[in-house]
């Protein structure tokens, strides 16, 4: 009887801690075609500028004297396009959605895409020069991963990042996350929105949600296994206490 109880408790604990294979696989290969290569269209929604974005803006006018007004410099020397230089000496979008450019003054850029911002600045600068060439980039591409896939703030070194790359950069994925229900918190000009992503679906590759936006927060929710892992010490203590109590009762009844 005692051995049966012990085995039952151990099996119950083991069964509750097992994680099905299908819950641990990204983009399940079994759901893909075995005979036909599938091409997934690239659907990447354009990012719209928001307050607190920092922009790297390079304006070439063909006039060296005028170019000096627009160059991002420190001590008279250009910082080029290094990530740290673009961040520290870029043009911040203020809380009202404006940036301040030399000669051009305050420009409202909130809600514009990067391409629209380039065109807007070109049209504005054209009052001063004939044929300006404008390049606008995000100087800061920050995202945050929390939960069971790592924790911390990361800075992407590229202007394009998908969610699988973001999770890989955050560290080794945990087996204790709900990868069918990854929560994404995203900032929009009109406010904050949340949505969930199923990383096991092949359709993810053709989804706009596949790509990470600046300032995204990616939360991998812990599953039941995570709670069991967290409380393993308590479970073992409880099991030990139960076995000790059972053993004591058996010994007393035999007296």
Determine how many CB atoms are found less than 10 A away from the CB of residue 11: 10
Determine if the pTM surpasses 0.75: no
Mean pLDDT, consecutive 10-residue segments, the chain of 255 residues? 49 48 55 60 84 89 75 46 60 93 90 95 88 88 82 72 86 76 88 90 85 90 65 60 68 67
Q: Do domains 21-45+141-227 and 54-138 have the same CATH topology?
A: no
Q: Does domain 54-138 have CATH number 3.10.580.10?
A: no
- Spatial separation of the C-alpha atoms in residues 36 and 58, rounded to whole Å: 45
User: According to the model, what pLDDT value does residue 177 have?
Assistant: 78
Domain ranges of the chain: 21-45+141-227, 54-138
Can you identify the CATH homologous superfamily of domain 21-45+141-227? Outer membrane lipoprotein wza domain like (3.10.560.10)
User: According to the model, what pLDDT value does residue 77 have?
Assistant: 41
User: According to the model, what pLDDT value does residue 185 have?
Assistant: 94
């Amino acid at each position: 009887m005692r051995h049966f109880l012990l085995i039952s408790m151990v099996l119950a604990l083991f069964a509750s801690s097992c994680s099905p294979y299908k819950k641990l696989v990204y983009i399940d290969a079994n759901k893909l075609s075995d005979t036909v290569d599938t091409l997934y269209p690239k659907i990447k929604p354009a990012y719209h500028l928001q307050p607190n974005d920092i922009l790297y803006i390079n304006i070439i006018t063909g006039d060296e004297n005028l170019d000096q007004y627009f160059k991002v410099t420190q001590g008279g020397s250009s910082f080029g396009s290094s990530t740290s230089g673009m961040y520290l000496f870029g043009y911040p979008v203020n809380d009202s959605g404006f940036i301040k450019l030399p000669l051009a003054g305050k420009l409202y850029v909130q809600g514009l895409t990067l391409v629209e911002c380039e065109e807007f600045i070109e049209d504005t600068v054209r009052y001063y020069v004939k044929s300006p060439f404008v390049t606008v980039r995000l100087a800061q591409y920050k995202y945050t991963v929390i939960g069971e896939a790592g924790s911390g703030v990361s800075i992407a070194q590229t202007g394009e990042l998908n969610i699988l790359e973001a999770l890989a950069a955050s560290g080794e994925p945990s087996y204790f996350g709900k990868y069918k229900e990854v929560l994404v918190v995203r900032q929009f000009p009109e406010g904050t929105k949340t949505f969930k992503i199923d990383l096991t679906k092949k359709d993810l590759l053709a989804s706009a949600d596949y790509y990470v936006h600046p300032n995204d927060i990616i939360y991998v929710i812990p599953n039941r296994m995570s709670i069991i892992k967290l409380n393993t010490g308590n479970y073992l203590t409880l099991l030990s206490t139960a076995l000790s109590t059972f053993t004591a009762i058996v010994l007393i009844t035999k007296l």
